Amino acid sequence: MSGVILTGLGLAALGFGARYALRQMPNAAKTFNEAMKNLPKFEESSASSKYYKGGFDQKMNRREAALILGVGPSANKAKVKEAFKKAMSVNHPDRGGSPYLASKINEAKDYLEKHAR
């Protein structure tokens, strides 16, 4: 018997909560629209300015290898290895990444390790 009473009270609370939410919806929509008007406008040039916009060079060089791995051109082998692991974990073809990008990441790692200062 107490289970039936608790179920009834729960359904009543749910009904009152839903009624309150429905009554507040016009106010919520108005508040949401006002908030959206106050947001700064999205500018594509400022959002993508931190990324390199050029394509790949014909032959790998130190600058391009450093850009691909996200390290400095004079990075040591340990930093290169760590950056390589991070880049490959995201771009590996077995995990849905591009085989072409994976080959460029491998090429960049090989170049920087070979030409380490």
State residue 34's pLDDT score.
76
DSSP secondary structure letters along 23-83: HHHHHHHHHHHHHHHHSPPP-HHHHSTTS--S---SS--HHHHHHHHTS-TT--HHHHHHH
51-81 pLDDT, tens digit per residue, is 566 778 888 899 999 989 999 888 889 999 9
List the chain domain ranges. 2-39, 54-114
Q: How far apart are CA 111 and CA 77, in angstroms?
A: 11
Q: What is the pTM of this model?
A: 0.55
Instruction: Over range 85-104, report the average pLDDT.
Output: 91
CATH number of 54-114: 1.10.287.110
- Give the helix/strand (H/E) hosting 18: helix 2-38
DSSP state of 115: T
25-49 pLDDT, tens digit per residue, is 777 667 777 777 777 765 554 444 5
